Copies of this chain bind each other. A is one copy, B any other.
């Protein structure tokens, strides 16, 4: 684990869609660039928040190519490479390796809920071996509320032992702090990211790597402030504000809510669009969300960034 790993705040970037539901490459690139400009340490494109499993393999590969072609540094990218089918995971990992991405975020194959640790090890080992991208780092993606299938401690240990240069970290979207805590303390040197900024400061204090959080799509600055304050020896007030913003958004369906906020912020109503099985938030609910944020001191502020008027 001597190669550099991601740290800080990473954004699972939402994916904009055109009227025909095709990915909107121009808006995607623009959003990625403004997130980096706002202080994101990395972009975890093609995650759960990105509706990545609502995209075809080809759509994901094409978007990745376009993003790198547009000048977004591949080293800042951690594309999701998860798939239920081994060949798809291999294709995604190969593309990330070819572009020199900073890593990939790997879901376990999530269709069969009876998968054993042995079977998940086989899948992961086969994906790494077939991708044949020796410089590519793999971050495991643990999100049992959605994928149902997850990475156990025993399996993580086994994967690190088998692929020490490749398996370098994990995103823990269990929503369970005691689980994140146990991962950080069980695997020293392993880059553990809670999947919510609510656990950011607690994580950093224990040696966590930062966070990869959906709400960073609209509040990367607020989350950054927690990290900077922690580095300066503090962080409690900043954490409280980041958590407050997140709690409001969690009161709504998160992906449609984030897109509605970006639509309102950019004035581009197309941003509100989602692919089924999701539905857009709708104008009334979007207005409720904006009012709730505003009442708590959070104002939309141009390029996808919340301004904290309480600061």
Contact = CB atoms under 8 A, between A and B. Distances in A.
A114 to B, nearest CB: 7
A240 interface: no
Contact of A277 (B59, B108, B147, B253): B108
A53 B85 contact: yes
Contacts of A86: 21, 54, 275-276
Contact of A56 (B54, B87, B116, B147): B87
* Copies, count: 2
Interface stretch (A120-128, A218-226, A289-297): A120-128
A156 to B, nearest CB: 16
Contacts of A108: 277
Contacts of A146: 111-113
Contact of A85 (B55, B110, B119, B120): B55
A54 to B, nearest CB: 5
A151 to B, nearest CB: 12
Contacts of A55: 85, 87
A118 interface: yes
A53 B113 CA distance: 12
A110 B109 contact: no
Most buried by B among A54, A126, A145, A149: A54
A187 interface: no
A133 to B, nearest CB: 19
A73 to B, nearest CB: 28
Interface string A50-64: 000111110100000
Interface string A203-235: 000000000000000000000000000000000
Interface in A84-138: 84-88, 91, 108-116, 118-120, 122-123, 126
Contact of A145 (B109, B113, B120, B275): B113
A53 to B, nearest CB: 4
Contact of A110 (B111, B275, B278): B111
A84 B53 contact: yes
A104 B278 CA distance: 23
The 8 closest A-B pairs by CB, nearest first: A119-B277, A122-B276, A123-B276, A115-B277, A53-B111, A53-B84, A56-B87, A123-B277
Interface of A: 21, 48, 53-57, 59, 84-88, 91, 108-116, 118-120, 122-123, 126, 145-149, 253, 275-279
Given A54-B86, A115-B278, A119-B278, 18 more contacts: A48-B111, A53-B84, A53-B111, A54-B84, A54-B109, A55-B85, A56-B91, A109-B277, A112-B277, A113-B145, A113-B146, A113-B148, A114-B253, A120-B276, A122-B277, A126-B276, A148-B148, A149-B277
